[in-house]
């Protein structure tokens, strides 16, 4: 429903009176939706098909992230790994509120940009969902994260990404991702 003049009236939701609260609520709703549709597809079609669809959706989302980021920032093309790193930090700032909470930058060079996740939310969620003996990097959501990053580098063009276990972490739970300029 629109107000006079066609504008959409502001809606005040209980407890969501400021932008930070609304953004936190939207993030939580997004992640809830992501997990719920995966579980519904898994229940109806099996884990293999659910994983395949999740990865396809995440790759597509990655391409969308790059396109919209370029439009919003005025960047015509991601030319080097430092710019790709700026993009990754901006995406994590939007999704998590702060990229510093999600990962640390290990390398920041024109041809190589590497991040190390500080924690693994996917592993924590997997353990809570009963995947207690799961191997890090092989949980259902791990393929989605890899596919998202693949979508980023495909959309940016001229880059590769590789997932590595983080050295010194128990079971390699916190992953590292190395982005390289390939052309």
On the 0-12 / 13-18 / 19+ scale of CB atoms within 10 A, 144 is buried
* Within-domain flag for 83: yes
pLDDT in tens, 65-93: 999 999 999 999 999 999 999 999 999 88
Q: Check which CATH number belongs to the domain holding 89 and give it.
A: 3.30.1380.20
DSSP 52-104: HHHHHHHHHHHHHHHHHHHHHHT-S---SHHHHHHHHHHHHHHHHS-HHHHEE
Question: How much is the pTM?
Answer: 0.78
Residue 11 lies in a domain: no
Q: Which tokens is 92 given?
A: 């994590």
| Domain limits for position 103 | 48-181
Q: Is the pLDDT of residue 3 over 50?
A: no
Examine residue 28 and state whether it is found in any structural domain, yes or no: no
Instruction: Kindly state whether residue 78 falls inside one of the protein's structural domains.
Output: yes
φ, ψ of residue 114 to 5 degrees: the values are: -130, 135
In a domain, 175, yes or no: yes
* pLDDT tens digits, 43-52: 999 989 998 9
Total domains in the chain come to: 1
Residue 68 lies in a domain: yes
Q: Which position has the token pair 């995440």?
A: 58
Sheet with strand 159-165: strands edge to edge: 103-108, 112-117, 175-181, 159-165
Please indicate, yes or no, if residue 26 is contained in any of the structural domains.
Answer: no
Whether 99 is in a domain gets the answer: yes
Residues 12-40 pLDDT 10s: 555 556 777 777 777 677 666 777 888 89
């Amino acid at each position: 429903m629109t107000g006079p003049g066609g504008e959409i009236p502001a809606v005040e939701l209980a407890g969501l009176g400021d932008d930070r609260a609304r953004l936190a609520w939207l993030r939580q709703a997004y992640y809830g939706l992501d997990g719920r549709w995966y579980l519904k597809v898994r229940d109806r079609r099996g884990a293999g098909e659910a994983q395949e669809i999740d990865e396809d959706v995440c790759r597509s989302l990655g391409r969308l992230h790059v396109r919209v980021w370029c439009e919003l920032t005025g960047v015509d093309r991601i030319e080097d790994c430092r710019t790709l790193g700026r993009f990754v930090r901006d995406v994590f700032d939007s999704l998590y509120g702060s990229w510093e909470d999600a990962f640390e930058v290990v390398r920041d060079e024109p041809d190589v940009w590497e991040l190390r996740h500080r924690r693994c939310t996917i592993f924590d969620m997997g353990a809570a969902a009963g995947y207690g003996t799961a191997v890090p990097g092989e949980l259902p959501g791990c393929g989605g994260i890899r596919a998202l990053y693949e979508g980023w580098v495909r959309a940016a063009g001229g880059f590769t990404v590789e997932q590595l276990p983080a050295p010194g972490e128990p079971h390699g739970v916190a992953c590292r991702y190395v982005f390289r300029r390939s052309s």
